[in-house]
Structure 1
Amino acid sequence: MAASVQAQVKFEAKVSKNKLGVNERLRVDFEMNKDGDNFRPPSFEGFTVVGGPNQSVSQSFVNGKRSYSKTYSFFLQPKSRGNKTIGQAEIIVDETTYKTSPVDIEVTAAVDTPTDGNDAEIAAAENLHLVAEVSKGDPYLNEAITVVYKLYVSPNISVSDWREVDSPNFTDFWSQNIDIRELRVENGEYQGEPYRYVELRKSILYPQKTGELEIEPLTLSISVDVPGERRDLFGRRLYKTINKTVSSSTRKLEVKPLPNEGKPLDFTGAVGKFSFNVKASKTELDASESLQATVEVRGNGNLNLFELPILELPSSLEVYDPERSENVNVSLRGQEGTITENYTIVPTQKGKYPIKPVSFSYFDPTTESYHRLTSEEILIDVKRGPAASSIAGRQGGSSGVTLPSDQFRYIKLKPDLQPIGQSSFFNSPVFWGSLALPILAIPLLIFFGRKRQEIAGDEKGQRIKKADRLARKYLSEAKKKLGDQKEFYEALERSLHNYLKAKLHIQTSDMSKEKISAILKEKGINDEDIMAFTNLLKSCEFARYTPASQVSMEQDYDKAVTVISTLDKQL
């Protein structure tokens, strides 16, 4: 029975801090879970007792079980600097003597702001820490680093609420926050002591300057519950809630410049690890058909901070400005995904046209070296269409044009020329004709000038020309399917969605017509034009279930040309 009682007795010493300045105070609690007799405190050698002993008792009954706690508290002032020890206290419980373990204390030089061992503010400050953890202290320029802000909370206190007071600006960095969907409490250590912590904020940073850069601190206002001196009727210690402002420390980085040795001439600032590819949607087609040439960079790095190489295309091909698309995810590993630029190409003449190889260079910080990737040459074979001229052939590559052998048959090798007799130029017909010619040319110049102004002011004609280009770009596939109802309306619907995707950089194929209408309205498109666009989408849907004539398909195609032209003008 005695062994059972001894196993249940708990008697221990707790201190408010293990390290303090010579001008600070220390609190020592001797706690037991059973009532005892003849409590004997240690001698407190090296300290002056400035308060205590204060005795407190707490007991409660939960589910029929009794809980008991008794505490003797002392407040000590160190007499000098150095390493000191709080000796063993003794208590007798059921005729058995129990002793606490000695506690080592380090006393340093006086601190600027002395604190007392029973201050709630001090308890909060000593048990609450906001830390900024940086993945790398010496990154290269444009190399991704992560900063994670963690809040460490001691088991001695609890946090009921928090809010941001001041956020870091990351002035010298390109930054992007990582979404934290749910805060999770984890167990860990802070300076060797057991703590709970939660990750409050995560950010990816790309330094934009070299040299010493600072990561500004994050500042929070936190509601903290700390144990107070008062107790309730049952002897339980009452908690006091205070608002504590905590900040992470300012972190400094030493950003290294990218090396000049081995830097390729076509390097545009890509830092990370990438793959590079250039491909065409098709390599054989007819004139007036369109194809897509895609320049793609895939990998991990600063995907938003460099330019893709420009395709070199023959001048005889009609090429539209590339459309850039990004599919990038952000995690603690940095930016990962794909950056592409799509070129719409429309050949106008028969022939073979090469897309020359292009190169892409990047710097890999893990190997600290540059890498250069080069694409393969792509040959576009235009099977049918008007033959290319000799000039187009020389500009655009081998066009297959053969010069006829009798092309110089009109040049006379023996012209039989006769010398012109000398005569006076003055008063000659040529003399008077040269004087009258400028006067006669004035009416012609006025006539042609007015015609030129009429052509330049022909807004309708310009719109028709632009509409024809847009139609050729987005509706060429639908035009080829005229006559086949199912394939025509599928191609027409796909063309309308591709147009909005190119102009608004959104995936409209996954949206409802109501959502598309709302987006166009936000962009300032007229209600009448929005209705015309959505009606075309409805026609594409209805045509899957109801028969449509050739005339109806041609009318819908003409409507699509008009709608795209009108929307393009407003966008």
Structure 2
Amino acid sequence: MTRSLVILLLSLQAGGQADVQMNAALNRRTARVGETVLLTVTLRAPGLYGPEIEDPDFAGFEVLSTADRSSFRFSPSLGAVREFIREYTLRIDRAGELTIPPIRASVNGVYYETDALQLVAGSGETAAEFPSGLLPRPEEEVAVRLWVEPETAYVGQQVTMTVGAFFEPLVRGRLQRQPEYRPPEVQGFWTADLPGSPRPERGVYGRREYFVQIYRRALFPLSPGTVRIPPAAVIYEVRRGLVYAAETFEVESAPATVVVRPLPLDGMPVDFAGAVGRYETEVWFDRSDLRAGEAVNLVLEVRGTGNLSSIGRPELPEIPGMRIYDGGEDAEVQLRGVEFAGHKRFSWVLIPERPGRYVLPELHLPYFDPLEATYATARSEPMSLLVQPAPAAAVAAGASGPSAIRFIRTRPARQESGLPRKAAFWLVQAVPLVALLGVIAFGRYRGRVPLPTRRRPQRRQRLVRALRPLAESGDAAFFAQLRGSVLAWLGRRLHLAELSGQGVVQVQHALEDSGVPPRVALEVIDVLEECARLRYQADPPGPTVARAMLTRVDRLLALVDREAVSEKRLRAAGEPGGSFYSLAILLLALSAGLAPAQEGVGAAEPAARWFQEGVAAYGRGEYAQARELFERALAVWPQDPNLLYNLGNVHYELGGRGTAVAFWVRALRLRPRDGDARFNLRLVVGDDPVVGSALPPLPLSRDEIALLFTLLWLGGCVALIARRRWRKGYLTFGGGAALTLAVLCAVLMLYSPSRYAIIAGPDSVLRAGPVRGSEILTSPPPGTGYRVQEQRGDWLRVSRGGESEGWVERAHVELIE
């Protein structure tokens, strides 16, 4: 005991000689007004007693909390040392360069101090984001607040909905997973997400420190009235301690209300189309060097703030001598803070019919300014376009009239026969399969026939019995006799009388050509060479070697007898291209015969006359009459791709852009390599991925795929039948590859493509539900393609992948089955 006290006193004496260390540090040197910073003071002093720290004057700060902690350690060199830490949580009250004075501490009557600290405080923005009446109450550990700005708006004006989720630091530190935000489900608005806070921000709200996450959404009212915004909610999971289980809580905000005012009728322009915001316009041509009959693009760009998707295509006034076609449109949305802005572009294709100067009058876009509560009009400046005369060759070639799209077809095409839908087509394909199965079954039957019932095995057995007495002598003459007998037997078996006088290489080729496997043929050659060697050996081989050689020959001749096809049977079976090729030609002729010709003469003659009359009416510019004539012919020839293509051109000239796109897609489904139809589609809808997916994946029609299937199927079966006779490896590979490709062709033939809907008219709208009173989601332009997901009565649920989804009336679209 005395020894321990002595050691402790020596340690305390050594600790008294240690230096006192004291410093202060801020967790950051820049912040904003209203944010919090953490000041940490650390003091290390010898001895067992704690120091006394004096709090400085925190000018420009508010002390929110103070926390002390200490630790003790002992070492032989330093003795007893106590580490004391004090943390100040400070909230910044004013902007500017703030100074924290030195902090003093007393240790055993001696004073120590830290250096002064500097902090740059910026103007506060976080607290200003929240209305004063919506700050969390002091007793709330977690709070959710929802508000809208402005609370009163016009139809089409942007309303910004903001949701703030407040988490007290202690609760946030105990979260088991990220909180789940559940936004309110609003009705009667067109909505779009806005950027919120990228991560939770720490700040003091209502005299309490919180971590705050901001969520925002833009709402554009669709109809007037008082609309209730349901509560937003945050679901979080915390663990109160190590011995406690995780608990899940859900906190909701209070609902909000938006008063939507109707647009005033006083001062509303006659051509007002519903644009709300602030806009300006600009117009330009994409080229200035232009000749008569050539196309030029006119671009109108609308810039400003507001819901750009609600701006429809302005009406372009008629220009004498100029043909006008609607082009594409695209929009780019940008954000100015939380306000929607950007630009939207509309294009038209203009084709001057004659040279001269054309004047484009001013284009105007009426809109409603919700901030000024008045109507205004964005106007463009008038523009002129100088058109040079066309070359003489171009004038002669364009006698039929200039057009942005390719000209119509002047002759009807052959209709698709629909081979994959005919039962007779598949019955024809069953013929080679039955033949293949029959050859396989017959081959197995022949393999099960007992050997004594066959004549060739009997001859082979007589040969072996005749040589067996000579083998017992073991004389060298036996091997000469054996070699000659084997060659004579092979000559009779293969019907090659000259085989006995040929070399071993010719014998090997004869065996392989007759269908004997190469391994067996090489073993026969090895036996013949071995017999020739033993024949001239100085010492007789003996009866044991002779009997073994005779047994080996008996086995090999049995294999040759089973595997080889005689020359006589080869001639009887026919040369390649004989019976098999005759069968192939017969099946192809049957498949081609399944394709019906055009309708009977009685129906085809008026259809051909209507077709030609429609072409003449189109050339005269009488598009309505051309449409009527082509539709009459289509009733007789419903699968004529030229008729479908011509109807697409006629509807395009009549202003039916969506119907034209549908007819061109139908024509391309029947004739995928139609370059004119593809050109027209690209001109009208561009590279629309949905419309492109409605076209066939391969540049082959279904009839062409059916004929390709017949060739591959027949070729594969014939190759496998030939493999049973000639046993060639390349026949197995070729037959398997052909049948595999035939199965792929069958999949393409039988594949039923998805249903597509093409927006037909400008009045088509996409709604949230299959009723006319449901919310309008968007108004797609004519020619826009959608995939049909569901049909419910006269309504179709359509989508464009991740872009948009909704319901549209069946009467407003062209359905592509």
TM-score normalised to structure 2 length:
0.35
**Structure (1 or 2) with the greater strand fraction:** 1
| Larger of the two Rg values belongs to structure | 2
Greater RCO structure (CA 8 Å; 6+ sep): 1
**Structure (1 or 2) with the greater helix fraction:** 2
TM-score normalised to structure 1 length:
0.49
